[in-house]
Chain A
Amino acid sequence: MLASRRDLLRIGLGGAGTLLIPAPGLLRAASPEHEPHFFMMILLGGGADSSYMFDARPLAMTKAGKIQNYLGKEPFPWQGNNGVTTLASPLVKPLEPLRDRFTVLNGVVMTPSFDGHLQNMNFLFTGNPFGGDSFIPHLNLAETGRAPQSLDAVLMSHALDATITNHSGVVPLEPRSAAALSATLKQVPPLEEGSALSDFVRDRMAKNAAGPGRLAAGAAQMLTGLERAPRVHRQLARLTVPPKHLSAEQQAVALIAECFRLSISRSAIYVLSQFFDVHAADKAKEQPKLFAGAVATIAALLQGLAAAPFDKQRSMLDVTTVLVASEFGRSLRISDSRIDDTGTNHNQFSNSILLGGKGIRAGMVIGASDLAHATDPASKGHLSLDPHLEKAIGRPFDFKTMRARTDLPATFEMQDYLTIQSVVNTLYALFGVPKERHRLLRRDLPLAPVLNGLLA
């Protein structure tokens, strides 16, 4: 599954070929006054169990009936360069060569009030369990001081289940369809403004866009899309097609890199093909296989980014911030099931996230979840949310030292925990998104703190 040296070289050469094209968008993106900065999100859908990656538990806990472990292998210490250690599942070994390229965040709290997929996926993207504006297009706003790209993001999949209102510029673009589209667009001229027919078509959209109502809003979007279409037409026509013999991940990296280089998009979303929702025991038992595949894909994507050149000095990973996340983690077990025959439920109180690439201090371990050992006591704050101790919960977090605290709070107070709001605000800070858009910890609480210690 991992890219061979030869394949990575091919991706790199493909990119280098593109760099020889003197496209205005490319020159602008690469010029020093427009510091290139891209974003890639790798999404694990369904709620991935952190214990199969970077928040593992010793086998003694499984023997004690506290947590399922269908891999049956002892986890190993994963030491961060900030002196913090977490236990990692042997399944993450393929990521070891890349350990200095990303930081692990454990015990990240999602939305405490809901444990559904949609609500937490919405919360991840929008900061609201019922949905709203995604943070990804915010990274492409003129307010950041960068010229907006043609698209807000390219989505390497059709499947992204979230209630998002500002994703009209987030476009599914898979390597196969992009390649065929590019080939056709090379032969068809774009529909430019200025012809009588083109102006008439635009005029009808503009006339119908005036006023209230759904059709008017749709017509307005059509008009905006049509105005931007010639630019994206020319850009997509220049896409270099990823070679078919490459793996799916390598093709995706090649296409994403092309979209970044050609100023088509500043962001990309890659949804892994695995689905991690394992309530039933038989499904939960498939997790070692699921995670082996997922880790291999993540490693291939990161390696691909590291191998693909952006310019003569920098790789794609040097100019791209990467976030790996799921909508939530999973419970340790289901309490009325045998530990060797249990599925797991949703756990919005502890998620694991990987952050790496441009602007991120990599190699660290930040945050932790509780109930790390069989004898660990639960705080009263924990028991108030999870009386049956089915879930690990993020440990209180010291934002100054960037370390998990060891105290056992009597109540669960959001401001004491590492939250997804802080992770998104850290991305906002990194991309220069104004404070007005930063997420609140909760509607009645201040802005979630930026994780300054995570910024390079």
Chain B
Amino acid sequence: MIVRLLAAALVCVGLAPAAQAQSAQFKGWSAVSRELSTRLARPGAPLDLDRFMPAEDVDGLLGTWNGFGDEHTFKNGAPNSVNMMIWRVALSRFAKSVAASCKTPELDFSDRFLDTLEKLCTWPSAFAKSDAVLSEFWFAVMGYNAPEAEYRAWREFFLASAYRDRPAADAVEAMTFAITMNPFFLLHR
């Protein structure tokens, strides 16, 4: 009898649809701005990142908190074609600004990040391609949000692709964009 019940239970488990994993949502523009400011800006002087948004009033489309009484819900955090397009426009503008800072800082970066950037801005020198310089830049922007495999893939891409010999302006822009468009950078875990 027990064996039959067990078999029936196993059949039921087998027939049950696989539980759909809930999807991670975007952190939202304000959280990403805060993280970037914490990592890259001078203490107490957050970066003005809103200027990279393609329009005013669209930051809410990237994920935002709504309050109704005691209830707080996160809205618009599910990735879709519109918010991906906005992230891409905003983050490519940010990346361009980071790369332009090789010559003259366009944002109020911390001295520490400017030191990191200065080393990377010698690209395509052998020094800039060293693991020490690349990992320093990676951790400065990504923080510790991503597994090491992500760093390795990113490093290999820039060491092996056409970016290997491109000028610093192009490479740094692309490197920054590639980090910030990574799911580990944009999604809540």
Contacts and interface: CB of A to CB of B under 8 A. Distances in A.
Partners in one complex: yes
Interface of A: 150-151, 158-159, 161, 165, 167-169, 171-174, 176-177, 179-181, 183-185, 188, 190-191, 196-197, 200-201, 203-205, 207-209, 212-222, 224-226, 228-233, 236
B64 A158 contact: yes
B80 A168 contact: yes
Nearest to B75: A158
Contacts of A201: 177-178, 181-182
Interface of B: 20-26, 54-58, 60-61, 64, 66, 68, 73, 75-76, 78-86, 88-89, 92, 150, 153-154, 157, 161-163, 174, 177-178, 181-184, 186-189
Nearest to A200: B157
25 contacts: A158-B60, A158-B66, A168-B78, A171-B82, A177-B55, A181-B58, A184-B89, A185-B85, A197-B178, A200-B178, A201-B177, A204-B150, A212-B21, A214-B23, A215-B24, A216-B21, A219-B183, A221-B79, A222-B84, A225-B83, A228-B80, A229-B81, A229-B82, A229-B85, A231-B81
B24 to A, nearest CB: 3
Contacts of A184: 54-55, 89
B178 A177 contact: no
Contact of A168 (B79, B154, B184): B79
B82 A232 contact: yes
A51 B189 CA distance: 47
Contacts of B25: 218
Residue in B21, B75, B161, B182 with the greatest tally of chain A CB atoms within 10 Å:
B21
B56 A177 contact: yes
Given A158-B66, A201-B181, A225-B84, A218 B57 contact: no
Nearest to A182: B55
B63 to A, nearest CB: 11
B183 A180 contact: no
Closest 10 CB pairs of A and B: A180-B55, A218-B24, A225-B84, A228-B81, A217-B23, A168-B78, A184-B54, A221-B79, A219-B183, A229-B85
A177 B153 contact: no
Nearest to B162: A196
A151 B81 contact: yes
Nearest to A275: B68
Contacts of B162: 196
A172 B120 CA distance: 39
B22 A217 contact: yes
Contacts of B57: 174, 176-177, 180
Nearest to A232: B81
B21 A183 contact: no
B89 A205 contact: no
Contacts of A177: 55-58, 61
Given A184-B89, A188-B54, A208 B82 contact: no
A415 to B, nearest CB: 27
Nearest to B64: A158
Contacts of B174: 197
A188 B89 contact: yes
A194 to B, nearest CB: 13
Nearest to A213: B21
Contacts of A200: 157, 161, 178
A222 B79 contact: yes
A230 B83 CA distance: 12
A221 B60 contact: no
Contacts of B76: 158, 171-172
Contact of A172 (B20, B60, B186): B60
Contacts of A215: 24, 183-184, 187, 189
A176 B58 CA distance: 9
A165 B25 CA distance: 12
A207 to B, nearest CB: 8
A258 to B, nearest CB: 15
A190 B184 contact: no
A413 B20 CA distance: 33
A196 B161 contact: yes
A231 B161 CA distance: 27
A218 B79 contact: yes
A102 B36 CA distance: 52
Given A158-B75, A181-B55, A191-B88, A218 B82 contact: no
Contacts of B161: 196, 200
A204 B149 CA distance: 10
A217 B187 CA distance: 11
Given A150-B81, A215-B24, A222-B84, A180 B60 contact: no
